[in-house]
Amino acid sequence: MATALIVLAAGQGTRMNSDLPKVLHRLGAAPLFAHALAAGRALEPARVIVVAGHGADQVTKAVAHVDPEAEVVLQEEQLGTGHAVAQAMPALGGFEGRALVLYGDTPFIRAETLEALAESPADVTVLGFEAADPGRYGRLIVTGGALEKIVEYKDATDEERAVTLCNSGVVACDAGLLAELVAGLKNDNAAGEYYLTDIVAAARARGLSAAVVTCPEEETLGINTRAELARAEALFQARARAEALDNGVSLQDPASVWFALDTYLGRDVVIGPHVVFGPGVTIESGAVIEAFCHLEGCHISRGATVGPFARLRPGAELAEDVHVGNFVEIKNSLLGEGVKVGHLSYLGDAEIGEATNIGAGTITCNYDGVFKHRTVVGANAFIGSDTMLVAPVRVGDGALTGSGSVITEDVPAGAVALGRAKQVVKPGLATKLFEMLRARKAQMKKGS
């Protein structure tokens, strides 16, 4: 059966004390809503609808970046979860299949849990959990194994508040039926809102079936405050580290390694202490990342070594057996097989041929203040230390640049390029200068 996702992401999140919409706060280097989308994408949904409200322009831009196929609809007034789902239904007009309602601030629901919801035979299925401390959660009232109704805490009786089976808010329902049920919702409750939870009682009143799928409480963790976001980050990182270790990755100091939502590490990768992964990092089997590296938007091939103290920025592509050493920064550049960039260099908007050596202090001068320009270095070249490659420029296969050179013109294959000023030596001048300066310093001390 086809599946559609409806992700509710309209809330302001006033308890975050932030100008940023709540679902754009980052967890695992990704917006909160991206976690719900990632879990839902495992179902291979035919449609994805995100309901935005507060900061809709920002949310729309972020959704387009994370999932370009998702459609964003606007909830101009925040009148409750039922009202939010109602805004999504026109976008699903004519869709035949199961609709799952998820929440952009609930990042830990597993794909396996969503699959159980999608496959439930009941007309309406709600995700519930046994709460250690039910607090102000809505309660799931089950009679004879069937879900009878959902009661919000503020509307519950004392007997209903004693129930520990709680509502996560996540719902699965036939899309056409969901449209009918939310269209009939009323707001005659303590908050004056249209509760999505009321669709259960409405379905039962029509003689339809309702059921509960349960999951561990930690999957339903919602983010409402900065403190909860910090706790969620700790939980996310602990899970990511455990998963990496289970998948054959060596973490030399697991607690100091920070992962992003989409970090991919191959088998037998070795990660040193204090490594930070931003979004979009893929590392193939057998690569080594030394301590204190920061990686984002890059691909590292088998046998490559990076660091310590290296930074790889978006667009960095390292082929097999590349070595990137300490205090090296690479951005939007392709390094061919066996390239060595040992230390203290910047390569931006560049293509470096296989087996080329980049000397210490080499910089590609790629930006003229308005435009970015590209540097191309061939295979088996030797770039001397402290070479400035002023782009656009090409250095041919097997060419060599002298240390301290400023290269502004193309260098043919096999050639040597020297681009530095002629050295001038003045015998004895240093001694005279130092004597003059020391005398001046002594005079200044007498005057004080």
Contact 23, 31 (CB under 8 A): yes
E strands within 156-209?
Answer: 165-174
Q: Is 343 a catalytic residue?
A: yes
Strands 26-27 and 30-31: antiparallel
Distance CA(90)–CA(418), nearest Å, equals 68
CA proximity to 375, closest of 394, 362, 358, 359 = 394
Distance CA(305)–CA(270), nearest Å, equals 9
What HEC string does 231-298 produce? HHHHHHHHHHHHHHHHCCCEECCHHHCECCCCCEECCCCEECCCCEECCCCEECCCCEECCCCEECCC
Give 132's contacts (C-beta < 8 A, 6+ positions apart).
217
Distance CA(79)–CA(48), nearest Å, equals 22
| Sign for the pseudo-dihedral over CA of 225, 230, 232, 233 | positive
**Which one from 35, 299, 343, 373 is the annotated catalytic residue?**
343
- Collapsing DSSP to helix, strand or coil, 144 comes out as coil
Distance CA(295)–CA(289), nearest Å, equals 10
Peptide bond before residue 308 is cis, with ω within 30 degrees of 0 = yes
Distance CA(141)–CA(137), nearest Å, equals 12
Helix 111-118 with 32-41: angle, nearest 10 deg:
60
Q: What are phi and psi of 132, to 5 degrees?
A: -65, -35
Task: Just list the catalytic residues.
Answer: 343
